[in-house]
Structure 1
Amino acid sequence: MTERDAVTPDPDLLARLAALAVRVGANLQPGQVLAVNGQVGGHEPLVRAIAAEAYRAGAKYVDVNWFDPLIKRARLELSAEDDLDFVPPWLGARVEALGAARAANISLVGQVRPGAYADIDPARIGRDQLPALRQTAEVINRRELNWTVVPAPNAGWAQHVRPGLDAGEALRLLEQDIRTVCRLDEDDPVEAWRARAVELQASAARLNAHGFDAIRLQGPGTDLTVGLLPSSRFIAAGMDTIGGIAHQANVPTEEVFTTPDPARVDGVVRATKPLTLGGTTVDGIEVEFAGGEVVRVDATTGADVLRGWIERDAGARRLGELALVDGDGRVGRTGTVFHETLLDENAASHLALGSAYLMCLADEADHERANRSAIHVDFMVGSPDVSAIGVAADGSETPVLVQGAWQG
């Protein structure tokens, strides 16, 4: 057993995270099945705490789906090239069955084996995109699941965030950050999230009142115009299932987001934070769009992995999400790069290549125009130096987010 394996998360923090995930994030209802997705080698303590909390809340059954990054490494090393993009149909069938059962779902993030694929051919990594599944986006867009994603503190992830520290010290600091960004340091975290939700929803309402035709991002290395569909609406801090169950899809969340027009994205955008994609760090990203499609991808590290992902299908080269994040969010204020999209995307405005969220479209007539893909890859493009400007149909411009502050 290594030192890292011997270091375990704080049980009190796990209990509070589990309660937040079950009661606020997924908002599990009595009699529902709860699906939990976690990684072996670090997520087990939180998965067990979530299962216990779910049964206290009246879960009918807790179904745990485990992913082992070291088994994936074996496949990447040894599998035949043509087998790497094989996705067993029963994996997608499970997701479809959970949607049909109107289940709840909690997914955990926080790499347990950072760098596990560091010496693997990037082209092979790009072909095996598991555990990501196309059916997940489809079930979410049909609003069949009340779902959430939460961070799972573990020593492997902690040492990736703070590589100069021993496992115990790194984990304690990561736990401190998670308490802060998840508002678990508040006497009443549920009420704290309700208050923040009101702020985020007010920001979304102000954006929607303008009825912008596009959003322009401008900053160092970035000048990108993202067109919006006629009924695109910004939403924040909460969704509802088709059955009316409210849930918070990300814990933490600090974003307001919408669905862009995948045919109207033009210009260049430079990422402001590294992206962890399938266990590989992609840093120094620069992407150029023309007519909505990616025409160039560069990066200082991991470029071939990102290029592999966007070759998945036609929609993978177009945008499915535009999200704006202000400077009042707790994630950005930590100053920590977490190397996990759940947290890093809530520190900075971001874009997502791939599948769009249909719940951001007020008119079903626009659903057919929204982007479709088997992937949804967020990358962070915001900073205090990057401004967001609303563009009206007549071309007039209105600043909406400048130096991290909402305008107007």
Structure 2
Amino acid sequence: MDERVRRHAEVLVDHCTRVEQGDMVQVSAPKEAEDLVVALYEKLGEVGARPSLNWRLGPAVRAYSQAMDENDYTTKEHDLAAMEETDVVFLISGGGNAYETSDVAPSKGQAAGRANKPILEERLGTRWVITTHPTASGAQKAEMSTEAYEEFVWNAVNRDWAAQREHQAQMVEILDPAEEVRIVSGDTTDITMSVAGMDAANEYGRQNMPAGEAFTCPVPDSVEGEVLFDKPLIRQGREIRGAYLEFEGGEVVDFAAEQSEDALESILDTDEGARRLGELGIGMNRGIDRFTYNMLFDEKMGDTVHLAVGGAIEECVPGDMPFNESATHVDMIVDMAEDSRIEVDGEVVQRNGTFRFEDGFEE
């Protein structure tokens, strides 16, 4: 087995989730990630954990979704019961056809999301991590050779996470006491939001691997302005390009997309909370230097900002602050590399992708 795969498994078990002897562990993965699953099981055996495995098969999901009446979606109580007994969850992506469910009605995705919400909420109470195993299909999406893509993924995973944490802490220190954040990019994005009273967090590899962002939650009714997400995303087997949102009083009042506008509408129609922002994330991983159609990587790029419609992140919202509830959480990316800035309480803290604490920052 490639030693880089073993190293990936070690990072997941020791750094991300801190698995202990006796922990009940769920592993969810596509068959294409078999090597990582084997390495993960080997490491879990050394620790003395108790894993169970769920293979994800895209064509089976498509067949079920096409046959299912959207009114029949209900919470899978056996899955919920299993999650209630689980300590650690590994969610591995990387294989299969990203567009497998492109011919499934978006409304069924909404229905499935609402039905799965109790399971999602239970999973968020575990020690969980999302990661990617490099495969030929992932390389094809990224327009890279398989070998180059493997090197890209493992270089992003096998980093000095203590140093990355220290780098990101500088942005967390700016965000945590902040009152207001403004994001401006070209003529298409100018959006403000209050983050007063919210906590900022440092994602250095606890729940995402690779990691690399500072994030917080906007006050739900405070978001004003418009934003054009100039990086595409794949959702429910559909590629959404040129997504545009306009906010008033914290709520999306207008939207459009150059491609798959119906898929964007489906996301926003999931529930009431899906038309409000649940996250502001600032990418800070300089080891991720190209767009690959994988949100886990793309949102961490050091010259991007991502905003998520839907559910807020519990660790960022103190008990006395309003919490945006939703069955969905969809990240979308703004490229901040050119003609862009981030302002915090009226002060520019990033210009054209460079932070004020980095070399090359222009006042």
Identity of aligned residues (%): 25
Q: Which amino acid aligns with 1:382?
A: D
2:272 matched to 1:314? yes
CA change 1:316–1:134 in 2 (3 A) is farther
Measured in 2, the distance between the counterparts of 1:353 and 1:95 equals: 25
Structure 2 match to 1:273: 231
Partner of 1:357: 313
Q: 1:115 to 1:237 in 2, by over 3 A?
A: closer
Spell out the pairing of 1:235-384 with structure 2 (5 A cutoff).
235-238=201-204, 248-326=206-284, 329-331=286-288, 333=289, 335=290, 337-347=291-301, 348-361=304-317, 363-366=318-321, 369-384=322-337
In the alignment, structure 1 segments of 5+ residues that lack a partner are 1-9, 239-246, 392-396
**SS of aligned partner of 2:91:** strand
Which deviations, in whole Å up to 9, do the C-alpha atoms of 1:173-225 show, x marking residues without a partner? 2101112211x3xxxx4xx11111111123211332xx322211101210111
Q: C-alpha separation between the residues in 1 aligned to 2:231 and 2:25? A: 33
Cα root mean square deviation, aligned: 2.2
Matched residue, 2:360: none
Relative to structure 1, the CA distance from residue 357 to residue 122 in structure 2 (aligned partners, 3 Å threshold; closer, same or farther) is closer
Q: CA deviation at 1:78?
A: 2.8
Q: TM-score, structure 1 length as denominator?
A: 0.80
Aligned residue pairs, count: 353
| Structure 2 counterpart of 1:364, one-letter code | G
Find out whether 1:177 has 2:130 as its counterpart: no
Task: Give the match for residue 38 of structure 1.
Answer: 29
Contact persistence 2:225–2:247 (CA under 8 A): yes
- What is the Cα deviation at residue 125 of structure 1? 4.5
Q: Distance in 2 between matches of 1:403 and 1:115?
A: 33
Contact 1:134-1:373 at 8 Å conserved across structures: no
Could you tell me which residue of structure 1 aligns to residue 83 of structure 2? 95
TM-score for the superposition, normalised by structure 2: 0.90
Q: Is the 8 A contact 2:91 2:129 kept in 1?
A: yes
Secondary structure (helix, strand or coil) at the match of 2:282 reads strand
The corresponding residue for 2:126 is: 145
TM superposition shift of 1:134 = 4.2
Mapped to 1, the partners of 2:34 and 2:114 lie a distance apart of: 20
Write the mapping of 1:23-102 to structure 2, written as runs, cut at 5 A: 23-40=14-31, 42-59=32-49, 61-83=50-72, 85-98=73-86
For the pair 1:155 / 2:136, whether they are aligned, the reply is: yes
TM-superposed CA distance for 1:139, in Å, is 4.6
Q: Secondary structure at the match of 1:263?
A: helix
Distance in 2 between residues matched to 1:139 and 1:222, nearest whole Å: 34
The alpha carbon displacement at 1:305 in A equals: 1.5
Determine the structure 2 residue equivalent to 1:244: none
Q: State whether residues 214 and 225 of structure 1, in contact with CA within 8 Å, keep that contact through their aligned partners in structure 2.
A: yes
C-alpha change, 1:28 and 1:342, in structure 2 (3 Å) is same
Query: 1: distance between equivalents of 2:111 and 2:273?
Result: 16
Distance 1:298 1:304, change over 3 A: same
Aligned pairs (5 A) from 1:127-146: 127-129=111-113, 133-137=117-121, 139-140=123-124, 144-146=125-127
Opposite residue 181 of structure 2, the aligned amino acid is I
Deviation at 1:344, TM superposition (A): 0.9
Tell me the residue number matched to 1:241: none
**Residue 200 (structure 1) aligned with residue 168 (structure 2):** yes
Is 2:189 the counterpart of 1:222? yes
Q: Distance in 2 between matches of 1:308 and 1:110?
A: 25
Question: Residue in 2 aligned with 1:233?
Answer: 199
Q: Which amino acid aligns with 2:33?
A: H
Distance 1:294 1:134, change over 3 A: farther
